[in-house]
Structure 1
Amino acid sequence: MNDTGHDDGGFLDAVKRAASRLRDDEARRAPPEFVAGFRIVRRIGEGGMGVVYEAEQEQPRRRVALKLLRCASSSASLRRFEREGKALARLQHPGIAAVHAAGTCATPAGEQPFLAMEFVDGEPIDRWLDRRGASHDLRLRLFADVCDAVHHAHQKGVIHRDLKPSNVFVDQDGRARVLDFGVARLLDDEDDGAERQTIAGQLVGTPAYMSPEQVAADPSAVDVRSDVWSLGVILYQLLSGRLPIDVDGRTTADVLRAIAEQEPRRLGTIAPDCRGDVETIVHQALARDPARRYPSADALARDMRHFLAHEPIAARPPSRAYLWSRFVRRNRALVVAGAVAVLALIGGTIVAVVQMVEAQAQTAHAKGVNAWFDTLLTFADPNENGRVDITLREAIERAADRIDKLVTTPEVEASVRLMVGHAFRSYGDLDRARDHLEKCLRLRRERFASPSDELAEACNALALLYERVGRQRDSVSLYEDAGRQYLELHGRLDQRHARALVNAGGALVQLGDLDGAEARIRAGVDLLRESNPDHAWLGTFLAHLANVERRRGRFDEAERCMRETLAIYARTDYADHPYAAIVRRNLGGLLAESKRFADAEVEFREALRIMRARHGEQHEWTLQAWRDLVAILRSQGREDDARATEADATAARAGK
Structure 2
Amino acid sequence: MRWSSSGACRCRRCCDARSPVRPIAPAIGYAHQRGVIHRDLKPSNIIVNEDVGGTPTAGSHAVPEIKVLDFGLARITDADVAVTTYITDAGTVQGTWAYMSPEQARGNPDEIDVRSDVYSLGILLYELVTGQLPYDVDRAPLYERTRVICEAPPAPLSRRMRSIDRDVATITLKALEKEPRRRYQTALALADDIERYLSNQPILARPPSSVYQFRKLVSRHKAPFAFVATVFVLLAVFAFAMALQSARIAQQRDRALAAERQSVQEAEVARQVSTFLVDLFNVSDPSEARGNRITAREILDKGSDRIERELKDQPAVRARLMERMGIVYTSLGLYDRARPLLEDALDIRRRTFGGEHREVADSMDALGGLMFVDGKHTEAERLHRGALAIRLKTMGEASLETASTQDILAIAIRREETHEAIAEAEQLFRSALATRRKLLGPGDRTIAQTLNNLGLLLSQNKRDYAGAEPMFREALEVNRRVFGNEHLEVSTTLNNLALLLRDSGRLDEAERSFREALTLDHKILGDDHPVVGILVNNLANLLQRKGDLAGAEALYREALALSRKNFGDTHWEAATIESLLGGCLTAAQRYAEAEPLVLESYPIIKSNFGDAHPRSAVALKRIIDLYEAWGKREKAAHFRTMVVQARR
Q: Which has the larger Rg?
A: 2
Pair in the same fold by TM > 0.5: no
Pick 1 or 2: higher relative contact order, CA cutoff 8 A, min separation 6. 1
Give the structure with the larger strand fraction. Answer: 1
TM-score of the superposition, structure 1-length normalised? 0.44
